[in-house]
Amino acid sequence: MRVKICGITKPEQGAAIADLGATALGFICVPTSPRYVTDLQILRVVQALEAMPVDRIGVFANTTIEIICQTVEVGRLTGVQLHGGESLEFCDRLRQALPEVEILKAIRVKAATDLSKARDYLPVVDTLLLDAYHPGLLGGTGQTLDWNLLKQFNPGCPWLLAGGLTPENIQGAIAQVKPPGIDLSSGVERSPGDKDLAKVAELFFKLQLTGSYLPQSA
């Protein structure tokens, strides 16, 4: 199972979370977010990883391809997550600009029709991320989406379940939804951008109990 911990701001926490077992780290590149980091701050975290085999994904919303490309280059990112209202055409142009970089598209799920919208992006992205809908916030809300909507969701590409996941509810989420990957942010934090390493460790312990995740050293 792919496990992405998002909203990383501190080099020592990023390295510790990768060491605990995260397969991807997410960096919020949206200036209005309390978890926002600059490209140079991302680079400092990446340098602290010491070549650990972990994906490095920048999260953007409604910005320009030029800004995304600059952040990818400076921050040495391996992936770009689009969390705004990016069109299919925008995703296609970004794919052409960054052919070697993973493109993820986040879909905020309010109703079953949003899952049909998610499938529309399959030709122009590599991975989908399903997040909870909030009328005023793009992500990191701590709210879960309706897992019942996802019981038959099988888009034919890799995807991540996000939205209000915590060490306390992760076993139920996996049992009900069976996602190939998960994304957590506020569920393993003390405050926005400050991760609670004890909660992260508890998360991986709970994941091992589900049988859906094996330690990377196994």
Q: What residues are annotated to the active site?
A: 6, 131
Q: What type of residue is 44?
A: R
Residue 163 to residues 5, 47, 135, 146: CA-CA distances in angstroms? 12, 29, 14, 10
Q: Using CA atoms, how far apart are residues 166 and 188, in angstroms rounded to an integer?
A: 7
And the tokens for 136? 């005023």
CB atoms within 10 A of CB 215: 10
Q: Which residue has the tokens 């975290």?
A: 45
Instruction: Identify whether the C-beta of residue 159 lies closer than 8 Å to the C-beta of residue 1.
Output: no
And the tokens for 124? 């122009």
